[in-house]
Amino acid sequence: MGVATPIIQDLDGVKRKPTLWLGLLVFAGYLGVFIATNRILARDFDYGDVVKTAENTRDGVFLPVLVASAYLTIVTTALGWWRPAIFEPRRRVALPKWMWLIPFFAILCPLLDIWRSDHRGEFTNSHWFWLIAGFALVGYSEELATRGLLLVGARTKLIEEWVAVLTAALFSLMHGLNFVFGQDAKTTLLQIAGTFPMGLAFYVCRRVSGNLIVAMVFHALYDLGLVVFGGTSTALNQLDTEVKQPLGAFIAMLLALVAVLVHQKKLFKSVDDLTLAS
């Protein structure tokens, strides 16, 4: 039986050799850029009111994330990490076909939440524009920062199980910044706890589909679906619903957990690992 080793990545064309510390540094830089921009542009309203109006959504979501996304795009290009950040290694293990249900429900359920929402009419055309554009950038930037660049760095040092845990844990902890932005402590702690399994679900989507794009779309639709389901009068991350409950990412997260528990050997290994172990 072979000793567990990090997954071998496709690093052809990289300009700077990936390391764990460089991945962590890029991730920290992303957080710093977003925090600074958000505090400048969204200082005139409370964090919970960020989706209350079109202008709030523009200043509190779209513009800060646009600047942070630009930072990540420039850094990724400078490092030459696009290939390993977006795509899984070419020599990857074939996973059970049922796992495609995970990205399927990840896309379907948020779309159903938007369709089921009683609050769609509360959003003006300009508000819809800033919501869609803003959360599209959230999906792009948060996934590129965590399950993209951070993952590339982590894979140079850690076995894949710990890569999945690290990227999910830091993704979860970064939401603790919402307390600094004005969210109450209880909601922030619940959000931190809830975003860890979300992070694992995003990771599984990457492994199943072979690319990060599916996870980016899943992430964007999930956030957008929750906002539209809650409406403009609901504080961000604190849905006020009496009868209907959002489907959110529950089914995708449940299936991802099953995949992690049942198919660890394939999910966390590369073709090279299985060859050494056989």
Mean pLDDT throughout 94-122? 91
What is residue 249's predicted lDDT score, i.e. its pLDDT? 83
Say whether pLDDT at 191 is over 70.
Answer: yes
Banded model confidence at residue 241, pLDDT cuts 50, 70, 90: low
Predicted model pTM:
0.91
For residue 80, is it left (φ>0), alpha (ψ between -120 and 50) or beta?
left
Nearest to 47 by CA among 56, 58, 55: 56
- Asked if 168 and 154 touch (Cβ cutoff 8 Å), the reply is no
- Please state, for a pLDDT cut of 70, what percent of the chain lies above it: 91
CA neighbours within 13 Å on the CB side: how many for 11?
14
pLDDT, tens digit (0-9, with 9 covering 90-100), for 193-230? 989 999 999 999 999 999 999 999 999 999 999 899 88
> pLDDT tier at 49 (50, 70, 90 boundaries)?
confident
Q: What is the mean pLDDT of the chain?
A: 89
Please state which of the ranges 109-113, 181-185, 230-234 shows the lowest mean pLDDT.
Answer: 230-234
Q: Give the span between the Cα atoms of 173 and 154, in whole angstroms.
A: 17
For residue 242, pLDDT over 70 is answered with no
Residue 185: the pLDDT is 86
Domain range annotation of the chain: 20-277
Q: Is the pLDDT of residue 278 over 60?
A: no
Q: Is the pLDDT of residue 166 over 90?
A: yes
At 216 the pLDDT is 97
Q: What is the mean pLDDT of residues 135-145?
A: 98
Whether 246 has a pLDDT exceeding 80, the answer reads no
Instruction: For residue 119, give the nearest of 187, 59, 52, 61 by alpha carbon.
Output: 52
Q: What mean pLDDT is predicted for residues 143-169? A: 96
| Paired tokens of 226 | 């929750």
Whether pLDDT at 188 is above 90: no
Lowest pLDDT segment from 81-95, 127-141, 205-219, 259-273: 259-273
pLDDT of 238 reads: 61
Per-residue pLDDT at 271: 64
